């Protein structure tokens, strides 16, 4: 796995050298104006604002994402939040109940450098981007290893994605030692369907798209229900006749038999 997968919890020297946020933090990017800074933090405007006030707070130290954080980072995160609120105050924002501060999780992390989104007024966040900034909207279920959220282009009444926090390119890169991971992904997919009151767990589709037909290069299990109600387009993409969709049962069978997905 190590030769094809990049762990979103770790980074290396190449990440730092090419990181745009590292350049901004070290004042090497002429196109970005720093609004406020401290010894170890920098704040600047988001280049694609989703609210009248939309800022990013980043640490000067290269931390890959919120998935890299641990207990020792609590003080850092608190200071990031404080700097974000200070900037809003400096910009004339007085209603601190109508703001939103937070981090994106996979697969919505746009830059591989920890950044806190600071938005105000939260009530005026663009309706087209609102789904990205409502707490818990996308993240239905999580554990230490997996994240589950709704597919933004659903192919059925219920359509969720289950992804591992660790970056794995696609189902073709899976090996025999990934069997427990795939089994847990299937379990979480069934759990979210059951949690959302899917009546028949026999009328579901759980599986992966085979490359090159996987839309995002990060392993994701599709969980759809009811399968019998999917339209023709969805049947072609996720149904039994689809040439590029492989069920989780077949993936597990091939991993157990061949040690890989054929």
What are the tens digits of pLDDT across the range 132-168? 666 655 444 556 688 888 898 999 999 999 999 889 9
Catalytic residue list: 115
Q: Is there a domain that residue 214 lies in?
A: yes
Lowest mean pLDDT among 12-21, 101-110, 126-135: 126-135
In a domain, residue 8? The reply is no
Best-predicted range by mean pLDDT (134-138, 176-180, 192-196, 211-215): 176-180
Domain contains 148: yes
Looking at residue 193, which CATH number applies to its domain?
A: 3.30.428.10
Confidence of residue 6 (pLDDT cuts 50, 70, 90): very low
Q: What's the pLDDT at 135? A: 60
Question: How many domains would you assign to the chain?
Answer: 2
Co-location of 202 and 228 in the same domain: yes
Asked, for residue 44, whether it belongs to a domain, the answer is: yes
**For the segment 31-49, what is each residue's pLDDT rounded down to a tens digit?**
999 999 999 999 999 998 9
Say if residue 147 is in the same domain as residue 91.
Answer: no
Supply the pTM of this predicted model: 0.52
Residues 215 and 119 occupy one common structural domain: no
pLDDT at 11 (0 to 100): 56
> For residue 165, what are the domain limits?
141-258
Q: Which pLDDT score, from 0 to 100, does residue 176 have?
A: 96
- 36 and 147 inside one domain: no
Instruction: Identify the pLDDT of residue 149.
Output: 87
Q: Which of the listed residues 103, 132, 161 is the one where a domain comes to its end?
A: 132
Same domain, 43 and 113: yes
| 167 plus 254 within the same structural domain | yes
Quickly list DSSP for the chain: -TTT---TT---HHHHHH-HHHHHHTT--TT--EEEE-SSEEEEE-SS-SSSEEEEEEESS----GGG--GGGHHHHHHHHHHHHHHHHHTT---TTS-EEE---TT---SSS--EEEEE-GGGS-TTTGGGTSTTSS--EE-SSEEEEE-SS-SSSEEEEEEESS----GGG--GGGHHHHHHHHHHHHHHHHHTT-S-TTS-EEEEEPTTS-SSSS--EEEEE-GGG--HHHHHHHSTT-SSEEEHHHHHHHHHHHSS--
In a domain, 3, yes or no: no
**Which of 106, 132, 158 is the endpoint of a domain?**
132
pLDDT digits (tens, 9 = 90+) for 217-258: 999 999 999 999 999 999 999 999 899 999 999 999 999 999
155 shares a domain with 45: no
């Amino acid at each position: 796995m190590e030769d094809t997968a990049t762990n979103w919890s770790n980074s290396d020297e190449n990440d730092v050298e090419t990181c745009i946020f590292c350049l901004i933090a070290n004042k090497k990017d002429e196109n970005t104006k720093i609004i406020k800074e401290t010894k170890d933090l920098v704040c600047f405007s988001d280049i694609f604002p989703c609210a009248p006030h939309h800022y990013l707070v980043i640490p000067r130290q290269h931390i890959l994402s919120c998935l890299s954080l641990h207990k020792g980072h609590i003080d850092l995160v608190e200071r990031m939040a404080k700097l974000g609120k200070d900037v809003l105050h400096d910009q004339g924002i007085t209603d601190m109940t109508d703001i939103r501060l937070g981090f994106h999780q996979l697969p919505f992390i746009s830059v591989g450098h920890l950044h806190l989104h600071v938005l105000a007024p939260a009530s005026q966040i663009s309706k087209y981007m609102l789904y990205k900034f409502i707490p818990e909207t996308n993240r239905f279920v999580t554990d230490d290893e997996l994240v589950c959220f709704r597919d933004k282009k659903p192919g059925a009444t219920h359509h969720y994605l289950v992804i591992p926090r660790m970056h794995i390119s696609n189902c073709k890169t899976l090996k025999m030692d990934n069997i427990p991971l795939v089994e847990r992904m299937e379990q979480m997919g069934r759990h979210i369907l059951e949690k959302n009151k899917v009546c028949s767990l026999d009328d579901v589709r759980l599986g992966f798209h085979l490359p090159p037909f996987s839309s995002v290069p990060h392993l994701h299990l599709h969980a759809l229900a009811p399968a019998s109600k999917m339209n023709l387009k969805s049947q072609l993409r996720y149904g039994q006749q689809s040439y590029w969709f492989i069920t989780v049962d077949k993936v597990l069978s091939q991993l157990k038999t061949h040690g890989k997905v054929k």
